[in-house]
């Protein structure tokens, strides 16, 4: 997107539920933020139907399958029961001849590239690759690890259905088999690679593949620093999350949680999923933060969706984080019009800085706006 940023535009529309004219409001979504939070029960079924309609053109299941006699996939909060020759909600995991396949050690649907350090990662302001935190154990020298690379690994599946997805084109890969083995991915690590970051989509549906690849890569590079990080929606099964945390702690990596919303109705409207698993998993990782302070194990991030994830919602998220540990780093990210919510404006500077103030007021000590260059030109 470069520096060609769309200016923030005035946009006021009528909420279909309360009838108030408010802005910004996505006409395609049709409901204002307060109604999604306070009156979610009244429109829950309509929101589920909306998400189903968004998913159908990509061949994705409209909702987590509950097929009689199906095989249970418990990798994420959806706990799909998948019938013969059918796919799970992520569009990857499949019941093939009575066995669940997809996203395992030999069947990853994934792409990758080498990204020079320091990267634009949401944790770069506190992580070892961006700052040299944890030197000498986790960084070769103090300061940004320039001249080294991050292997950025994009997993092409997701357990959520975010209407604002900034990487939505991966959905075009739905219902295609994964063909990349963990060994092939591990072989992409070069002598100048000092970290691996898994993102997407979401790495959750393919976390077994990511763990296997990381293990192989670290075994092959046992004499050098190789950190392992994940950026995730946090919906993975706790038993798998624990394995991710152990590897991040051991290697100097970071678990980066996308905290979409703490208000469950708003979270469901925007992502098609409940947030209980994400919040519990975040707290689960927060309990481990004392085992390694530098670099931090856990980082939170929130996309500032205009009209929906406003400073009040950011304050609620920040209070949740602060109650666990006020020193957990927290990044606020500018929204750029994408996917189903393309009728919203770019996050304004006022929105971002009011959200920053709200997070600090809630007690967090390490907060920043992560991508100010994307902020709209409005006030």
Residue indicated by tokens 């539920």: 17
Q: Is the dihedral of CA 32, 316, 38, 202 positive or negative?
A: positive
Residue indicated by tokens 């799970």: 88
Q: What is the mean pLDDT of residues 300-313?
A: 98
Question: What are the tens digits of pLDDT across the range 169-223?
Answer: 999 999 888 999 999 999 999 999 999 999 999 999 999 999 999 999 999 999 9
User: Could you tell me the two tokens for 109?
Assistant: 């649907």
Question: What are the tens digits of pLDDT across the range 108-161?
Answer: 999 999 999 999 899 999 999 999 999 999 999 999 999 999 999 999 999 999
**93 Cα distance to chain centroid:** 19
Task: Name the residue ranges covered by the structural domains of the chain.
Answer: 110-374
Question: What are the tens digits of pLDDT across the range 166-183?
Answer: 999 999 999 888 999 999
pLDDT at 377: 61
Domain 110-374, CATH = 3.20.20.70
**Whether the Cβ atoms of residue 128 and residue 204 lie closer than 8 Å to each other:** no
Alpha carbon distance 78, 161 (integer Å): 12
User: Could you tell me the two tokens for 378?
Assistant: 């409005």
Contacts of 78 by beta carbon, 8 Å cutoff, 6+ apart: 64, 88, 89, 90, 159, 235, 273
């Amino acid at each position: 997107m470069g520096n060609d940023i769309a200016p923030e535009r005035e946009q006021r529309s009528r909420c279909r539920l309360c009838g108030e004219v408010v802005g910004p409001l996505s006409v395609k979504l049709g409901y204002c933020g307060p109604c999604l939070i306070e009156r979610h029960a009244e429109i829950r079924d309509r929101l589920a139907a909306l998400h189903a309609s968004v998913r159908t053109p990509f061949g994705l299941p409209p909702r987590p399958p509950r097929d009689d006699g199906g095989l249970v996939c418990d990798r994420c909060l959806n706990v799909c029961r998948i019938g013969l020759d059918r796919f799970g909600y992520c569009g990857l995991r499949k019941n093939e001849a009575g066995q669940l396949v997809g996203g395992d050690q030999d069947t990853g649907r994934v792409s990758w590239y080498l990204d020079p350090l320091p990267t634009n990662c949401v944790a770069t302001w506190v992580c070892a690759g961006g700052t040299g935190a944890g030197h000498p154990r986790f960084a070769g020298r103090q300061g940004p690890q320039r001249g080294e690379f991050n292997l950025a690994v994009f997993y092409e599946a997701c357990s959520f259905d975010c209407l604002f997805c900034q990487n939505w084109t991966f959905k075009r890969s739905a219902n295609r088999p994964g063909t990349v083995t963990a060994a092939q991915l591990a072989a992409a690590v070069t002598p100048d690679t000092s970290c691996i970051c898994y993102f997407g989509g979401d790495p959750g549906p393919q976390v077994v593949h990511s763990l296997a690849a990381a293990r192989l890569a670290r075994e092959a590079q046992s004499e050098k620093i190789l950190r392992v990080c994940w950026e995730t929606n946090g919906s993975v099964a706790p038993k798998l999350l624990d394995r991710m945390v152990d590897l991040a702690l051991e290697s100097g990596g970071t678990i980066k949680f996308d905290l979409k919303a703490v208000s469950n109705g708003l979270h469901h409207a925007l992502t098609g999923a409940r947030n209980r698993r994400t919040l519990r998993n975040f707290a689960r990782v927060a309990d481990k933060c004392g085992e390694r302070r530098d670099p931090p194990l856990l980082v939170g991030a929130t996309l500032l969706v205009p009209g929906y994830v406003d400073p009040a919602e950011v304050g609620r998220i920040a209070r949740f984080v602060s109650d666990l540990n006020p020193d957990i780093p927290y990044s606020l990210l500018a929204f750029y019009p994408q996917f189903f919510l393309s009728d919203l404006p770019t996050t304004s500077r006022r929105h971002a800085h009011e959200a920053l103030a709200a997070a600090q007021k809630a007690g967090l000590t390490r907060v920043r706006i992560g991508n100010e260059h994307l902020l709209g030109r409005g006030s």
